[in-house]
Amino acid sequence: MTTSIIADDGEKKIFVNMVLDAWRTQNAKVDKFLAEVSDEQLAWPAVLGRNSGLYVIGHLTGVTDGLLPILGWGERKYPEFEETFVKKPFDAEAKIATAAEVRKAWKCVNDIAEKKFVEIPPDEWFDRHTAVSEEDFAKEPHRNRLNVIVNRTNHQSYHLGQLLFLTKNRED
């Protein structure tokens, strides 16, 4: 029932829904891309003839996997994705996870995040996240947990704009 949005928790709940809706919309677009792209296409260079599509999906997976620790709500499920796809730049010679492994991890980290996100009371979204100091947060209260999702959603959109180069029939 969408009408419960106001009844429950007022404005905070509406705002949490705005941000999570945008996040889910972008995730669904990546899902759609993954349903359309072949494993072979994922191996092609997507960005400036450099990063492969697989690396970009691994990167997004590693970043989403890092959400719960940043928000203070859990641990990483795939710490090795942070090493390979977040801390290190793309290296065509490096042995990285297979397309099947990356696809599975992408789905898994998103399921874990979604499950947590719907459990969290709206109030908690407006608390400080672990990457901002108490002192900075007192001065800049908009640097809260929900703001991390705002920024990560844009990060995902940005990379999604690059991935379409791998599937010619996608809309731009």
Q: How far apart are CA 50 and CA 44, in angstroms?
A: 9
Least spacing, CB of residue 138 vs a second copy, in Å? 8
Backbone dihedral angles phi then psi of residue 45, each to the nearest 5 degrees: -70, 125
Q: Does 165 bind a second copy (CB under 8 A)?
A: yes
Work out which of 34, 43, 47, 120 binds a second copy, going by CB under 8 A. 47
Least spacing, CB of residue 77 vs a second copy, in Å? 25
Least spacing, CB of residue 172 vs a second copy, in Å? 5
Closer to a second copy by Cβ: residue 47 or 108 = 47
Half-sphere exposure of 87 (CA within 13 A, CB side): 7
The 81-120 site mask, x for binding a second copy (CB under 8 A), equals ----------------------------------------
Number of residues that bind a second copy (CB under 8 A): 43
DSSP-assigned beta bridge partners for residue 52: 45
Stretches 31-39, 74-82, 92-100, 149-157: which one binds a second copy (CB under 8 A)?
Answer: 149-157
Q: Does 14 bind a second copy (CB under 8 A)?
A: yes
Work out which of 58, 60, 84, 159 binds a second copy, going by CB under 8 A. 159
Look up tokens 């949490």; give the residue: 16
Q: How far apart are CA 29 and CA 146, in angstroms?
A: 21
Going 45 to 48 to 49 to 51, the CA torsion angle's sign is negative
Q: 92, 50 in Cβ contact below 8 A?
A: no
